[in-house]
Structure 1
């Protein structure tokens, strides 16, 4: 780790997140300081094999999503909107040496896939946060963009999460560490959520709202679906549960937001979750929209975030 910070800055190591008035990404692991090399295995990157500050030091926005294809599409969109396409810059998968995640960089924007569910995004986040730390990135905004099931709202609605909650509608992420249950807060940056909501109002015919997002450990029974290989409850029980979720402020359901919110909060990352809904769970359990409609819905979070990033960079907004 000594090679990561300039010699004159070694004394700043313990307070690195406030160095020179900038908000650096920080880690909550004292063991990293004693490691001669940190291998980011699932990214096929490392502190000895790659110059991470040179590669990633200018990153200001990190956008993550479950699907590799969707995150490549977002990277291509940002390449076009930021003008890198005109420069003839080729888009390359930085993680091509591994089959776990994909990663694309377009100027100050990093696009990464995280797979499906808490375990997959958790692994990615550990290595992403360390990458940003080793690269000495500062003032970073990270946004999860994806799809979800709506709770009492129309399909195609874009939910900007204010707080991620668990299946008991509590703002917490519980994880078993060794033989202890550790509970962490899942509140997201309220100011960032409001800015994104305001940005959404500038896009014509763009249905968006702020609400709680419920994170579950399963797509079927864990989300009250009646169409899985197993089902241990009645339709009435399902509807009662979803009604209680709605009453608690839940407007959509997905499978990554609690660990995302908890880890970003602990490591000094300004974070947001923006997901489009593909169905209203009060009405259906299965997604049966035409392909072209699904494609258009899935592009909505990308449009909002690309618009937001351009505004933050002082560029013309997307029409």
Structure 2
């Protein structure tokens, strides 16, 4: 059984669940929000961009950065965690930009996406673009390279996400919006201090054995087998490896959200398994996708000033 994506023609977020209409209240438990306890249209109705990433601290920093970049009132340092009543996820809002953490791996981001998409639906948000920004292991590329995902693939290099529902395996498409990919690549041409490319992203269910690492608590294969597998992945178009992209692409596509994945490579997996770059280098790497997305958002809003690139103060002098 294969499910395909479908965009809602009116720009609304499309929820494919007939049971929601019969519910007296929808409690978004893991976000500490609900349709009776919160006025979701007032709180979130102006949201046009949703950016998600694994780390709560990173997504708070991104929200503060966007608050500054959009010229919003105040310094952004007092932004409140909208999900403060739970320790599962963190959420911050800077004007039309929502910044949310999703934890690590397919199950964690899946739970967040279900409740986030219902939130956008209840809030009657229109024409929302959602982007995952994060870190990844590169494949045949230099550390610090930013990869815009063309197609999210599984460990067999197939563009699919398999979801077990009851006792059935449902296969979902992992296609991402091609126009959005090209738009992001064009935005990257404004930035000259780090490389950006389009490539396939492989999503795994594990950080160690699932990604062919030799340094976990378990390992049943040789270095030669590992390199042979990773080279086959490279030949299949894979340029980075992470743990969320397939389910992200599948769920967003089915619910009518224009989605993209933009991740920086922290290392080249063909040269090793462990991340050895100094902390300050890794911090700067992690800011690169944020910088690209900030240009994208400001261009969409008509706020982009090319002269800002002569400064880059937030990234280079922070």
The TM tier, using the shorter chain, reads over 0.9
In 1, Cα distance between the equivalents of 2:202 and 2:7? 33
Offset, 1:225: 0.2
- Report the Cα offset of residue 16 of structure 1: 11
Aligned to 1:307: 295
Alignment partner of 2:89: what SS?
coil
Q: Which runs of 5+ in 2 are unaligned?
A: 1-5, 310-318
1:108 matches 2:96: yes
Match of 2:8 in 1: 17
Deviations 1:132-178 (CA, angstroms, capped at 9, x unpaired): 00000010000000000000100000000011000000000001110
Matched ranges for 1:132-143 at <5 A: 132-143=120-131
1:267 corresponds to:
255
Deviates more, 1:84-93 or 1:105-114: 84-93
Which of 190, 205, 211 pairs up with 1:217? Answer: 205
Q: Say whether residues 1:256 and 2:247 are aligned partners.
A: no
> Would the alpha carbon gap of residues 87 and 251 (structure 1) be closer, same or farther in structure 2, given more than 3 Å must change?
closer
Q: Partner of 1:206 in structure 2?
A: 194
Within 5 A, what are the aligned runs for 1:174-213?
A: 174-213=162-201
TM-score by length of 1: 0.93
Q: Deviations over 1:112-144 (max 9, x none)?
A: 000000000000000000000000001000000
User: What's the RMSD between the two structures over aligned residues?
Assistant: 1.4
- Quickly say closer, same or farther: Cα 1:240–1:16, change in 2 above 3 A: closer
The CA distance in 2 between the partners of 1:156 and 1:88, in whole Å, is 27
Q: Which residue matches 2:3?
A: none
Closer, same or farther: CA 295–85 of 1 in aligned 2, 3 Å: farther
Task: Please tell me whether the aligned partners of residues 75 and 104 of structure 1 are also in contact (alpha carbons under 8 angstroms).
Answer: yes
Question: How far did 1:89 drift?
Answer: 8.3
Q: Is the 8 A contact 1:151 1:251 kept in 2?
A: yes
Q: Deviations along 1:226-253, whole A, 9 cap, x unmatched?
A: 0000001000100000000000000000
Q: Distance in 1 between matches of 2:51 and 2:157?
A: 26
Partner residue in 2 for 1:282: 270
Aligned residue for 1:84?
72
Specify every segment of 5 or more residues in structure 1 that has no aligned partner in the other structure, as ranges.
1-14
Deviations 1:61-88 (A, max 9, x none): 0000000000000001001001124477
Report the Cα distance in structure 2 between the residues aligned to 1:301 and 1:220, rounded to whole angstroms. 24
Q: Secondary structure at the match of 1:226?
A: coil
Determine if contact 2:7/2:254 at 8 Å carries over to the other structure. Answer: no
Task: Describe the shift of the 1:87–1:256 C-alpha distance in structure 2 as closer, same or farther (beyond 3 A).
Answer: closer
CA contact (8 A) 2:7 2:256 kept: no
Could you list the runs of 4 or more consecutive aligned residues of structure 1 that deviate by over 6 angstroms after TM superposition? none
Determine the C-alpha separation between the residues in 2 that align with 1:136 and 1:85.
25
In the other structure, the counterpart of 2:313 is none
Q: State how many pairs are aligned.
A: 302
- Choose which of 50, 55, 72 in structure 1 pairs with 2:43: 55
Residues 88 and 191 of structure 1: CA distance in aligned 2, closer, same or farther (over 3 Å) = closer
Is the 2:68–2:75 contact (alpha carbons within 8 Å) kept by the matching residues of 1? no
**1:6 matched to which residue of 2?**
none
